[in-house]
Amino acid sequence: MSQIPAELQYTAEHEWVAAGEPATVGITAHAADALGDVVYLELPEVGAAVTAGEVCGEIESTKSVSELFAPVDGTVVEVNTAAVDDPSVVNADPYGAGWLLKVAVSGEPGGLLSAAQYTDLVGD
Amino acid sequence: MSDDAVAAEARPSPLHDEHVALGATLVPFAGWSMPLRYGSDLAEHTAVRSTAGLFDLSHMAEIWLLGPEAGAFLDHALVGSFRGMAVGRARYTMICVESGAVLDDLIVYRTADEAYLVVANAANHDPVLAALRERVGDRDVTVEDRTDTTALIAVQGPRALEILEATPGLAVEGLADLRYYAALEGTFDVDGQARPVLVARTGYTGEDGFELFVDADTVGVPLWRALLAAGEPFGLVPAGLAARDSLRLEAGMPLYGHELDLTVTPYAAGLGRVVKLDKTDADGAPLDFVGRAALYARAHSEPARVLVGLVGESRRAARQGYDVTTRGGTHVGHVTSGAPSPTLGVPIAMAYVTPEASAEGTELAVDVRGRLEPVHVVPLPFYRRP
């Protein structure tokens, strides 16, 4: 059973969002487990505009590759360069050191799932 | 159908409970529920390259051909030559259909004068068994499917021999001198009883290693546990299908459903050497085998596409099904397998391309989800053990 922290919000594409200014974005433990060892991250540049529901990056493991969907509208203000340099932190600590982006959110985030809703979605 | 529903219908390996106890991620694979990884697939891959990995391959099909005409039958049914193969040897081969296309790739072991073991891919168990039964005709050969009663355990990696030698109860005379692609009968003690083990020096990882065929009910679990315990001081770890796939890709070994299928001949796959067009029967007369006429024609013409190795020059890896193009974007083929290589640290792929695009060093590109990534053609395998 993967960990699903109660204080975070989620997308159906397995991203998590920690509310704040800026908001922090990563992928869930469920997604990291399904991918296997992450070996390469392609993240947007600082300053890039992202749109909720649209692809903004890629997460690649030996076995497969998954797109990163922006969970909110906004502007990227920081990317986790330590995770780009050593993507294994995404598996080791997906909700901590394995965060991916910080986004200055424009407008009100919508359509995100609660921890309970995400738990129902992934069925564990 | 959801993955869970598939997994529920999948057959458990005889070692299923061991995998669960080890915390494996189990996935449906060719009708079986098999371990994808136990923890980190990269760590499992690296262990096989540097120390050793323990694999459960019990999903593979084991079909025995028994009787005085077993060798002659295989000469007819498969593309290779088996009648004259020495007892104790193994051979990589293929079973083709009349069109010359590949029904499966196989390893055939001769374990006695009148006994051959054919090991086929799990996904092709049914078609291979059906083809063998159909091709046997009225020959004095028994086709015996022992897939369900056989556990197949592989120890792969540079420490594999030391691990087998250190495993209590495992007795295989002449093991250290066993040649690559050869097999020996040995025993493994279970509760004081010496049970038979067929030990083959074969594998699918590009490393030295062994594959052990044993009775699923009585020997599988105790042998798995004994190998795991004996191997631990040598760095042996259990390894799953994810590592198996990345290891075989680095070693340039084809996987049915990727490099091989019913649309390709052995020649297109660069494996024409396994086809013995000139084999003869016991009287020295030319021997016809299934697919020979078509394969003869293919052997004497240039294939429309050939299998090549590609190394990526950027970070994004090509994956199965992606288009291969010139640097200018003209389509020349498609990727059959691809991944970021854990050992080499660059993306690698195998692909079918037109002959004009197949020369070593040719600069090509792969359409990786809408963006052309530069690659170049390299000889296979990508990795050769030191």
Output the CA torsion sign for B126, B129, B134, B135: positive
Please tell me whether residues B296 and B308 are part of one structural domain: no
B245/A39 Cβ within 8 A: no
| Residues B329 and B216 grouped into a single domain | no
Tokens of A39: 């070996």
**Residues B62 and B68: beta-carbon distance below 8 Å:** no
User: Are B315 and B353 part of one and the same domain?
Assistant: yes
pLDDT in tens, B137-161: 999 999 999 999 999 999 999 999 9
Distance from CA of A86 to the nearest CA of B (A): 13
- Report DSSP letters for B238-278, one per residue: E--HHHHHHHHHHTT---BTTTBSTT--TTTTT-GGG--TT
Q: Do B150 and B4 share a structural domain?
A: yes
- What's the domain count of chain B? 2
Show the CA angle centred on residue B108, arms to residues B103 and B109, nearest 5°. 165
What does the alpha-carbon distance between residue A102 and residue A71 come to, in Å, rounded to a whole number?
Answer: 11
Query: In chain B, which residues have pLDDT < 50?
Result: 1-7
- The pLDDT value recorded for residue A69 is 96
Q: Are B37 and A35 in contact (CB under 8 A)?
A: no
Q: How many whole angstroms separate alpha carbon B102 and alpha carbon B124?
A: 11
Cα distance between residue B308 and residue B295, in whole Å: 21
Which residues, 6 or more positions from B94, have their beta carbon under 8 angstroms from its beta carbon? B78, B79, B80, B102, B103, B104, B105, B106, B260, B266, B271, B274, B275
Whether B342 and chain A come into contact, CB under 8 Å, resolves to yes
Residues of chain B found within 8 Å of residue A91, distances taken between Cβ atoms: 40
**Contact (Cβ atoms closer than 8 angstroms) between residue B63 and residue B132:** yes
Residues B200 and B327 in one domain: no
Sequence letter at residue A108: E
* B279 shares its domain with B316: no
Residue-number span of the structural domain to which B28 is assigned: 1-301
Strands A9-10 and A23-27: unpaired
Burial B187-225 (b: 16+ CB within 10 A, else e): bbbbeeeebebbbbbbbbbbbbbbbbbbbbebbbbbbbe
> Residue B277 and residue B172: Cα distance in Å, rounded?
37
CB contact under 8 A, B316 and A60: yes
Q: Are residues B96 and B243 in the same domain?
A: yes
Q: Say whether both B87 and B233 belong to one domain.
A: yes
Chain B interface, best mutation among A43, A62, A122, by max B CB count within 10 A: A62
pLDDT in tens, B69-114: 999 999 999 999 999 999 999 999 999 999 999 999 999 999 999 9
Q: pLDDT at position B302, please?
A: 85
Please report, for the domain that includes residue B162, its CATH number: 3.30.1360.120
Check whether residue B20 and residue B104 sit in a common domain.
yes
Beta strand B236-238 pairing with B52-56:
parallel
Q: Please provide residue B130's backbone torsions phi and psi, each rounded to the nearest 5 degrees.
A: -65, -40
- B2–chain A nearest CA distance, Å: 12
In the block, residue with structure tokens 């795991």: B228
At A124 the pLDDT is 58
pLDDT for A115: 96
Cβ–Cβ gap A62/B246 under 8 Å: yes
Query: Kind and range of the H or E element at B228?
Result: helix B220-231
Nearest to B340 among A39, A88, A123 (CB): A39
State whether B340 and A40 contact (CB < 8 Å).
Answer: yes
Is the pTM higher than 0.90? The answer reads: yes
Nearest CA in chain B to A84: B315
Task: Please check whether residues B46 and B191 belong to one and the same domain.
Answer: yes
Under the banding of pLDDT at 50, 70 and 90, the label for residue A109 is: confident
pLDDT given at position A111: 86
Same domain, B262 and B249: yes
Contacts of B42 in chain A (CB under 8 A): 36-37, 39, 62, 88
φ and ψ of B384, to 5 deg: -125, 135
A39 part of contact set with chain B, CB < 8 Å? yes
Compute the distance between CA of residue B323 and CA of residue B335 in angstroms, rounded to an integer: 6
| Fold entry, domain A9-105 | OB fold (Dihydrolipoamide Acetyltransferase, E2P) (2.40.50)
Distance of residue A19 Cα from the nearest chain B Cα, in angstroms: 31
Of B267, B285, B301, which marks where a domain is finished?
B301
pLDDT at B2: 43
ipTM: 0.84
Q: Is the CB of residue B368 less than 8 Å from the CB of residue B329? A: no
Contacts of residue A42 in chain B, CB cutoff 8 Å? 315-316
Instruction: Return d(Cα B380, Cα B373) in angstroms, integer.
Output: 20
Domain end (from B301, B323, B353)? B301
Residues of B with Cβ-Cβ distance to A88 under 8 angstroms = 42
Per-residue model confidence (pLDDT) at position B103: 98
For residue A35, the one-letter residue type is L
Q: Where are the domains of chain A?
A: 9-105
CATH of the domain at B328: 2.40.30.110
- Residue A60 — pLDDT band, cuts 50, 70, 90? very high
Using an 8 Å Cβ cutoff, are B349 and B172 in contact? no
Residues B201 and B64 in one domain: yes
- From B260, B282, B301, the end of a domain falls on B301
Strand order in the sheet with A65-69: A38-42, A55-61, A65-69
- CA B379, CA B272: separation in Å to the nearest integer? 16
The CA distance from B351 to A103, in Å, is 39
Within an 8 Å CB–CB cutoff, is residue B45 touching chain A?
yes
Interface check A62 vs B, CB under 8 A: yes
Amino acid at B27: V
